[in-house]
């Protein structure tokens, strides 16, 4: 089913006789597999309002991200939260939509300095599970009128309702950027160096440690200001290793597009995303490596981090998964290894705070494990309660979030 | 302002309720004598007063849980209270309620500079959070005007903002986790020292829920390293609309000042008489502040001044030193106090799209003439958050009602211009009955359904946020 107006959308939901599988551009196939009639928002297309002087854009949920980015670029503005494009990592095709970004709260490296998608989302219109059209928030930057369902809808993966329109805060594009790199750092040193950089007054807008053990720090702004801060920051972090400076803005941007989209793990069969306290990184990496080390020669997965160590991506291919499976009884297989890896990472997060989500994996694995971190009983009760209110028939992407 | 009739069944059991509460708290933590409960009869919206049944001052999350459990069992409404600085009546009691004050929960529990967060008990004041990390050159960004007194609990409840949120965001953008107690006494943690939610964003929902979903006892807050420096520039214009256009041009130009503040003639003159900041004689005044190293500030201010010059300013004054910077801010920071010296006033909080600024200011002027009440405008122009101050005479019969009626017209104007009723103060009782102007019934129904999940008996701060007739069936069912 494809709808072209909000009213058609409401009627489609109201008239639904069974579960619905809600999607936008279909590029973010994440979550426990959903069974149901496909309801696509791709036909809800168009920018309804764009006021560069007020830093706001309002668009229908199915509007391609590319259209929005083009409109913003013409006014020298951007979506500052730098939404991840999941196509390379997940091997999907199609056009990412603005609704898909909001529904998954997709946020990139700049999350550490300007916030996530949810922090830039000013208002939503959506159709709940009963087919009722609801609005919340608006198009102004400060709004505390009533409960903030805007945040609740961001990252709810269509399980509370189908977004029909979103309104977002946009920001000026930076005049230029530069990246500072230190090669060959271990996770502990990288975490320390990134903390030092983020704790400095130099407004670091990206701090990542890549699969190849290179640490990257990004600075953005007016040219003189960037030059000044590059010098200061290089001085601050030189004790961690030799600092290389990428001062060509195009080359610098390429680095961050690859980090944003987690290109380095695109070849992996299973990819897990963890959100943790940055200083827990080395501890977590150590514990994870130790669990698997006695059974093979070293870590059996690839790891990269963003958000100064607060966002950890772990990827494993079939061989690495077989190794993971060796820590438990039974025939070592990639399937079993996937389960072991996901459950292990989730238990680590449950222990030290944070959460782990299986972003990429075969359908069988996504059916076998909780894709999203299991919640504590009270939070789970509240989430279930909300789902019952927003979607009394339980038909909206049912089970996607567990 | 209408409030629900107190529940006789609660009033008649006061002695038993007090006794049960005394049983779960330390000596002196239950305030119940008629004279002492008066201290809690209002918040900063002093036009409305009502002494509560009693007030409790717990000292731990466990004690908060014990209080809520007792009130839940006995069917007693609870109104949570931080420092009582709400301008919207968020902590206004009803005669049948227990005021749950978190003032004694004021410790810093943990500071972590590597991961850039601080965990505090929620009764701690906003400014003292920055105070706890200042020595390490860090700060907590949201800075409501009441920051010397207001508590983090209230900041979370109202999703408070401040002058610097154009760059740093409001409370919800700086809140990483909470420990909270549900009405039935269940203690839970949501979020933590990591950056995003695991499942549904309950933290985003709780922030700004005006104490209606749970009582927050601890908060994990993001702290930031202080910038190397900051410098304001003052711009004076002879026309409100020109000043408004200048704001839009600055924003469009790609500079992101940390603050853009606006004052109109009434505020300028009044504060000038009061604080003697040396402001020029003009119709509208902007204070624009940027941050960074001296060279970075020079670069940004040069750009901003270029833009301002195109709008024909009466005066352009860049702070040459700390003292001049402080003087530029002095008038703005004393604006509310200065108006308070000459008149009683009601402070509104509507937000509008920046592009509607000239039209809204013009219309407010017309309303001022129609109602015969003076209005001063002083606000955060960068994000469109207006604070019209309507002057009235509390001793003149009917003047408060006239002021309220005019306030309602201004807030409706904000909504009609594409904005909202409240940008940072919250709905409370003040804007409760205007909610239907911004939201349709189904929009309010789903919000009330959220409260049903967290507080099915509607005991937590029940007479706030939603128009009384909308919430009546839920509140009455609970009795």
User: pLDDT per residue over A128-182, tens digit each?
Assistant: 999 999 999 999 999 999 999 999 999 999 999 999 999 999 999 999 999 999 9
Residues of chain A with CATH 3.30.70.920: 176-260
Q: How far apart are CA B81 and CA B123, in angstroms?
A: 9
Q: How far apart are CA B420 and CA A145, in angstroms?
A: 7
| Least confident piece of the model among A196-205, B80-89, B253-262, B440-449 | B253-262
**CB within 8 Å: A151 and B204:** yes
Cβ-based contacts of B453 with chain A (< 8 Å): 382, 385-386, 388-389
Cβ-based contacts of A175 with chain B (< 8 Å): 254
Q: For the CA atoms of A284, A285, A288, A289, what is the dihedral angle to 10 degrees? A: -150
Is the minimum CB–CB distance between B35 and chain A shorter than 8 Å?
A: no
> Check: CATH 3.30.465.10 for A6-172?
yes
Q: Give the residue from A115, A118, A143, A193 with the most B CB atoms within 10 Å of its CB, the best one to mutate.
A: A143
CB atoms closer than 10 angstroms to residue A377 = 10
* Confidence at residue A281, expressed as pLDDT on a 0 to 100 scale: 78
**Res. B251: pLDDT tops 90:** no
- B453 closest CB neighbour out of A148, A203, A389: A389
Contacts (Cβ under 8 Å, ≥6 apart) of A253: A177
* Confidence at residue A280, expressed as pLDDT on a 0 to 100 scale: 84
Residue B417 C-alpha, separation from nearest chain A C-alpha, in angstroms: 10
What ipTM, to 2 d.p.?
Answer: 0.96
- A275 closest CB neighbour out of B195, B200, B353: B195
Residues of chain B with CATH 3.30.70.3450: 230-336
Query: Options 2.40.50.140, 1.10.3720.10, 3.30.70.1150, 3.30.70.2740; which CATH number does B343-435 get?
Result: 3.30.70.2740
Q: How far apart are CA A26 and CA A12, in angstroms?
A: 19
Contacts (Cβ under 8 Å, ≥6 apart) of B305: B233, B316, B318
**Res. A279: pLDDT tops 70:** yes
**Res. B190: pLDDT tops 70:** yes
Chain segment B227-242, per-residue pLDDT in tens: 999 999 999 999 988 9
Query: Taking CA atoms, what residue in B is nearest to A129?
Result: B446
**Res. B341: pLDDT tops 80:** yes
Averaged over A6-26, what is the pLDDT?
A: 96
Residue A195 C-alpha, separation from nearest chain B C-alpha, in angstroms: 5
Q: How far is CA B447 from the centre of its chain?
A: 20
* Confidence at residue B347, expressed as pLDDT on a 0 to 100 scale: 92
**Res. A79: pLDDT tops 60:** yes
Q: How far apart are CA B88 and CA B86, in angstroms?
A: 5
| B283: nearest Cα among B304, B303, B265, B305 | B265
**Res. A298: pLDDT tops 60:** no
User: Judging by DSSP bridges, how do beta strands B98-101 and B78-81 pair with one another?
Assistant: parallel
Residue A269 C-alpha, separation from nearest chain B C-alpha, in angstroms: 22
Using pLDDT thresholds of 50, 70 and 90, give the confidence band for residue B254.
confident
**CB within 8 Å: B252 and A376:** no
Averaged over B308-315, what is the pLDDT?
A: 95
**Res. A230: pLDDT tops 80:** yes
* Confidence at residue A352, expressed as pLDDT on a 0 to 100 scale: 84
Averaged over B266-293, what is the pLDDT?
A: 93
The dihedral built from the CA positions of residue A232, A308, A260 and B193, taken in this order, carries a sign that is negative
- Give the relative orientation of helices B441-454 and B468-478 as an angle to the nearest 10 degrees: 30
**CB within 8 Å: A373 and B199:** yes
CB atoms closer than 10 angstroms to residue A213 = 16
Using pLDDT thresholds of 50, 70 and 90, give the confidence band for residue A26.
very high
Cβ-based contacts of A228 with chain B (< 8 Å): 293, 295-296
Query: Taking CA atoms, what residue in B is nearest to A377?
Result: B188
| B262: nearest Cα among B355, B163, B340, B171 | B163
Cβ-based contacts of A82 with chain B (< 8 Å): none
Interface size A-B, in CB pairs within 8 Å, comes to: 266
| Class of the domain covering A263-368 | alpha beta
Residue B433 C-alpha, separation from nearest chain A C-alpha, in angstroms: 12
Using pLDDT thresholds of 50, 70 and 90, give the confidence band for residue A47.
very high
Averaged over B208-230, what is the pLDDT?
A: 97
* Confidence at residue A156, expressed as pLDDT on a 0 to 100 scale: 98
Is the minimum CB–CB distance between B353 and chain A shorter than 8 Å?
A: yes
Is the minimum CB–CB distance between A97 and chain B shorter than 8 Å?
A: no
Q: Where are the alpha helices (DSSP H) in B381-456?
A: 399-416, 435-438, 441-454
Q: How far apart are CA B405 and CA B416, in angstroms?
A: 17
Cα atoms in the 13 Å half-sphere on the side-chain side of A197: 38
Cβ-based contacts of A173 with chain B (< 8 Å): 254
Question: CA B312, B418, B168: angle at the middle one, nearest 5?
Answer: 70
Are A24 and A97 spatial neighbours (Cβ–Cβ below 8 Å)? yes
**Res. A122: pLDDT tops 90:** yes
Are A102 and A154 spatial neighbours (Cβ–Cβ below 8 Å)? yes
Q: What is the mean pLDDT of chain A?
A: 94
Query: Taking CA atoms, what residue in A is nearest to B163?
Result: A142
Are B348 and B265 spatial neighbours (Cβ–Cβ below 8 Å)? no
- A353 closest CB neighbour out of B192, B203, B352: B192
Is the minimum CB–CB distance between A401 and chain B shorter than 8 Å?
A: yes
- Segment holding B186, helix H or strand E: none
**CB within 8 Å: B188 and A224:** no
Percent over 90 (pLDDT), chain A: 87
Using pLDDT thresholds of 50, 70 and 90, give the confidence band for residue B164.
confident
Contacts (Cβ under 8 Å, ≥6 apart) of A242: A182, A183
Using pLDDT thresholds of 50, 70 and 90, give the confidence band for residue B358.
confident
Q: What is the mean pLDDT of chain B?
A: 95
The CA–CA distances, whole Å, from B473 to B269, B315, B457 equal 49, 58, 11
> Check: CATH 3.30.70.920 for A176-260?
yes
Using pLDDT thresholds of 50, 70 and 90, give the confidence band for residue A296.
low
Chain segment A360-399, per-residue pLDDT in tens: 999 999 999 999 999 999 999 999 999 999 999 999 999 9
**CB within 8 Å: A146 and B439:** yes
Tokens 């919800």 — which residue? B172
Name the A residues in 264-323 with CB < 8 Å from any B CB: 275-279, 307, 310-311
Chain segment B136-158, per-residue pLDDT in tens: 999 999 999 889 999 999 999 99
- Segment holding B98, helix H or strand E: strand B98-101
**Res. B166: pLDDT tops 90:** no
* Confidence at residue B457, expressed as pLDDT on a 0 to 100 scale: 96
Query: Options 3.40.190.10, 3.40.50.2300, 1.20.1630.10, 3.30.70.3450; which CATH number does B230-336 get?
Result: 3.30.70.3450
**Res. B446: pLDDT tops 80:** yes
**CB within 8 Å: B182 and A378:** yes
Q: What secondary structure letter does DSSP report for B391?
A: E
Are B234 and B285 spatial neighbours (Cβ–Cβ below 8 Å)? yes
3-state secondary structure chain A: CECCCHHHHHHHHHCCCCCEEEECCCCCCCCCCCCCEEEECCCCCCEEEEEHHHCEEEEECCCEHHHHHHHHHHCCEECCCCCCCCHHHHCCCCCCEHHHHHHHCCCCCCHHHHCCHHHHEEEEEEEECCCCEEEEECCCCCCCCCCCHHHHHCCCCCCCEEEEEEEEECEECCCEEEEEEECCCCHHHHHHHHHHHHCCCCCEEEEEECCCCCEEEEEEECHHHHHHHHHHHHHHHHHHCCEEEECCHHHHHHHHHHHHCCHHHCCCCEEEEEECCCCHHHHHHHHHHHHHHHHCCCCCCEEEEEHHHCEEEEEECHHHHHHHHCCCCCCCCHHHHHHHHHHHHHHHHHHHCCEEEEEECCHHHHHHCCCCCCCCHHHHHHHHHHHHHHCCCCCECCCCCC
- A143 closest CB neighbour out of B189, B225, B420: B420
Which residues sit opposite B190 in a β-bridge? B178
Cβ-based contacts of B431 with chain A (< 8 Å): 145
Averaged over A340-356, what is the pLDDT?
A: 91
**Res. A294: pLDDT tops 80:** no
Contacts (Cβ under 8 Å, ≥6 apart) of B304: B233, B250, B253, B255, B257, B288, B290
Chain segment B1-27, per-residue pLDDT in tens: 889 999 999 999 999 999 999 999 999
Using pLDDT thresholds of 50, 70 and 90, give the confidence band for residue B197.
confident
Is the minimum CB–CB distance between A136 and chain B shorter than 8 Å?
A: yes
* Confidence at residue A295, expressed as pLDDT on a 0 to 100 scale: 53
Q: Which residue has the higher pLDDT, A186 or A179?
A: A179
Name the B residues in 368-427 with CB < 8 Å from any A CB: 380, 383-385, 418-427
Cβ-based contacts of B450 with chain A (< 8 Å): 147, 149, 386, 389
Q: For chain B, give me the number of helices (H) and strands (E)?
A: 19, 18
Helix (H, G, I), strand (E, B) or coil at B237: strand
Using pLDDT thresholds of 50, 70 and 90, give the confidence band for residue A291.
low
**CB within 8 Å: A115 and B169:** yes
Paired tokens of A357: 């989500």
Q: How far apart are CA B48 and CA B210, in angstroms?
A: 18
Averaged over B81-101, what is the pLDDT?
A: 97
Q: How far apart are CA B338 and CA B336, in angstroms?
A: 5
Residues of chain B with CATH 3.30.70.2740: 343-435
Chain segment A59-74, per-residue pLDDT in tens: 999 999 999 999 999 9
Helix (H, G, I), strand (E, B) or coil at B166: helix
């Amino acid at each position: 089913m494809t709808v072209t107006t909000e009213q058609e959308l409401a009627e489609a939901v109201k008239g639904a006789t069974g579960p619905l599988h809600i999607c936008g551009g279909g590029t973010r196939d994440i979550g426990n597999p959903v069974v149901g009639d496909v309801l696509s928002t791709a036909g809800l297309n168009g920018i309804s309002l764009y006021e560069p002087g007020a830093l706001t854009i309002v668009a229908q949920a199915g509007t391609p991200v590319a259209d929005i980015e083009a409109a913003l670029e013409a006014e020298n503005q951007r979506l500052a939260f730098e939404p991840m494009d999941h196509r390379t990592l997940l091997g999907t095709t199609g056009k990412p939509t603005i609704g898909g970004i909001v529904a998954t709260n997709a946020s990139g490296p700049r999350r550490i300095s300007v916030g996530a998608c949810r922090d830039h989302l000013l208002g939503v219109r959506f159709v709940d599970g009963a087919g009722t059209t609801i609005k919340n928030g608006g198009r102004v930057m400060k709004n505390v009128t009533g409960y903030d369902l805007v945040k609740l809808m961001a990252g709810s993966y269509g399980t509370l309702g189908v977004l029909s329109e979103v309104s977002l805060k946009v920001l000026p594009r930076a005049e230029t950027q530069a990246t500072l790199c230190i090669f060959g750092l271990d996770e502990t040193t990288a975490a320390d160096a990134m903390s030092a950089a983020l704790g400095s007054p130099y407004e670091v807008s990206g701090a990542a440690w890549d699969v190849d053990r290179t640490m990257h720090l990004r600075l953005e702004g007016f040219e003189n200001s960037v030059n000044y801060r590059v010098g200061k920051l290089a001085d601050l972090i030189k004790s961690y290793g030799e600092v290389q400076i990428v001062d060509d803005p195009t080359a610098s941007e390429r680095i961050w597009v690859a980090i944003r989209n987690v290109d380095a793990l695109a070849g992996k069969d299973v990819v897990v995303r963890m959100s943790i306290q940055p200083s827990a990184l080395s501890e977590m990496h150590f514990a994870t490596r130790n669990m698997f080390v006695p059974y093979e020669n070293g870590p059996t997965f690839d790891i990269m981090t963003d958000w100064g160590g607060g966002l950890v991506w772990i990827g494993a291919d079939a061989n690495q998964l077989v190794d993971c499976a060796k820590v438990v009884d039974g025939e070592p297989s990639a399937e079993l290894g996937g389960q072991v890896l996901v459950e292990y990472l989730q238990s680590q997060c449950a222990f030290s705070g944070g959460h782990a989500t299986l972003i990429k994996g075969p359908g069988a694995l996504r059916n076998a494990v909780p894709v999203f971190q299991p919640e504590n009983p009270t939070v789970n009760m509240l989430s279930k309660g909300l789902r019952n209110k927003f979607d009394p028939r339980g038909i909206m992407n049912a089970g996607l979030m567990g | 302002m209408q409030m629900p009739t107190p529940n006789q069944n609660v009033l008649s059991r006061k002695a038993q309720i007090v006794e049960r509460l005394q049983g779960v708290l330390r000596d002196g933590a239950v305030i119940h004598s008629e004279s002492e409960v008066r201290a809690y009869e209002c918040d900063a919206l002093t036009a409305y007063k009502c002494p509560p049944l009693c007030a409790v001052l717990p000292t731990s999350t466990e004690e908060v849980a014990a209080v809520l459990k007792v009130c839940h069992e006995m069917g007693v409404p609870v109104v949570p209270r931080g420092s009582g600085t709400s301008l919207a009546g968020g902590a206004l009691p009803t005669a049948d309620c227990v005021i749950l004050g978190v003032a004694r929960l004021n410790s810093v529990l943990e500071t972590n500079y590597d991961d850039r967060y601080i965990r505090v008990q929620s009764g701690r004041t906003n400014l003292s959070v920055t105070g706890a990390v200042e020595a390490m050159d860090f700060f907590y960004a949201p800075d409501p005007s009441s920051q010397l007194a207001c508590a983090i609990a209230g900041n979370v409840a109202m999703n408070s903002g401040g002058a610097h949120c154009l760059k740093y965001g409001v409370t919800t953008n700086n809140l990483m986790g909470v420990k909270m107690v549900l009405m039935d006494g269940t203690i839970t943690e949501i979020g933590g020292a990591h950056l995003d939610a695991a499942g549904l964003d309950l933290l985003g929902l709780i922030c700004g829920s005006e104490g209606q979903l749970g009582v927050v006892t601890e908060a994990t807050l993001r702290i930031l390293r202080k910038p190397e420096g900051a410098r304001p520039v003052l711009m004076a214009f002879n026309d409100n609309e020109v000043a408004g256009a200048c704001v839009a041009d600055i924003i469009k130009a790609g500079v992101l000042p940390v603050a853009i503040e606006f004052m109109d003639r009434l505020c300028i003159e009044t504060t000038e008489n009061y604080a003697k900041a040396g402001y020029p004689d003009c119709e509208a005044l902007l204070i624009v502040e940027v941050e960074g190293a001296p060279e970075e500030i020079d670069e940004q201010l040069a750009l901003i001044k270029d833009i301002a010059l195109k709008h024909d300013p009466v005066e352009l004054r860049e702070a040459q030193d700390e003292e001049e910077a402080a003087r530029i801010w002095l008038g703005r920071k004393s604006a509310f106090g200065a108006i308070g010296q000459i008149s009683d006033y009601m402070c509104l909080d509507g937000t509008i799209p920046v592009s509607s600024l000239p039209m809204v200011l013009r219309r407010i002027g017309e309303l001022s003439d129609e109602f015969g009440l003076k209005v001063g405008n002083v606000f955060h122009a960068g994000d469109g958050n207006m604070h019209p101050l309507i002057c009235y005479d509390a001793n003149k019969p009917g003047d408060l009602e006239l002021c309220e009626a005019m306030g309602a017209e201004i807030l409706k104007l904000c909504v009609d211009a594409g904005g909202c009723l409240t940008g940072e103060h919250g709905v409370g009782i003040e804007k409760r009955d205007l909610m239907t102007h911004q939201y349709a019934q189904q929009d309010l129904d789903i919000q009330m359904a959220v409260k049903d999940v967290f507080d099915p008996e509607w005991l937590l701060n029940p007479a706030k946020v939603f128009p009384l007739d909308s919430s009546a069936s839920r509140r009455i069912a609970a009795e």
